[in-house]
Amino acid sequence: MKYKKIMILCITFLVTILASCAKKIDSDKEITFLNKNKAHIYAYKETEVVDTISSNFTNIEDISLSYDFISIVIDCSKYYQNMTKDFIEDLYNLLNLNDHIMVLFVDAKNYNFFESTPFANEKNYYENVSYVHGFYNFSSVKGIVEINYGLTFDGEGSKFKYAIISTFYRRVYNYIGAL
């Protein structure tokens, strides 16, 4: 039993690495999968992701926990000044409320806003990190898991979409496959 769990984790890790090497995404397939599995993306303020499976939020209270999987996305290149200690702590508290939440911080020049928040316990560095930095609480590993991606892209428009949809898709897919 123990070896089976280790083997599943190794396979999941390998699939994740191979999937992150791809430059193009099959976004229709991924969006359909997320929609079928009651997944939803909440994008902070006016950030656009995908109309069919995403909506915007301004306050934490705007986020409905009625979906099976939730990804909360903050475009730090636009909203870095909004990363107050209280806002960050509220996001962290959501991870402890629900079993299937992911919080993605995208395109920050540094992550100093994690200092003096509960996320600081999950993270040990703040500068020169990757394009996508996030945390999620649904995996075969108990607790909050940290993720990082440094990605290269053909076009700027695909960058954001790839980072959000593919990261969320891979985590949901791996979770459902491990059941």
Residue listed under structure tokens 């986020």? 63
Distance in angstroms (rounded) separating the CA atoms of residues 133 and 106: 6
- The contacts of residue 27 (CB under 8 Å, 6+ apart) are 50, 161, 165
**Tokens 């500068």 sit at which residue?**
127
Contacts 24+ apart (CB under 8 A), 116-122: 116/85, 117/85, 117/88, 117/89, 117/92, 118/89, 118/92, 118/93, 119/88, 119/92, 122/146
HSE-up of 47 (CA within 13 Å, CB side)?
Answer: 26
Q: What is the mean pLDDT of the chain?
A: 77
Q: What is the C-alpha separation between 175 and 77, in angstroms, rounded?
A: 30
Per-residue pLDDT tens digits for 102-123: 998 887 777 778 888 888 776 5
Predicted local distance difference test score (pLDDT) of residue 35: 93
Instruction: Report d(CA 88, CA 81) in Å as an integer.
Output: 12
Determine the Cα angle at 134 with ends 13 and 132, to 5°: 90
User: What range does the domain containing 88 cover?
Assistant: 2-178
- Token duo for residue 105: 């911080």
pLDDT value, residue 33: 95
Q: What was the pLDDT predicted at 122?
A: 61
Going residue by residue through the chain (179 aa), what tens digit of pLDDT does each one get?
Answer: 555 555 554 455 544 554 544 434 467 889 899 999 999 999 898 777 777 788 899 999 999 999 999 999 988 888 888 889 899 999 989 988 877 999 988 877 777 788 888 887 765 555 555 567 788 888 766 778 877 766 544 445 566 677 788 889 999 999 998 66
- The total number of structural domains that make up the chain: 1
* Beta-carbon-side half-sphere exposure of residue 37 (alpha carbons within 13 Å): 22
Taking a C-beta distance cutoff of 8 angstroms, is the pair 18, 149 a contact?
no
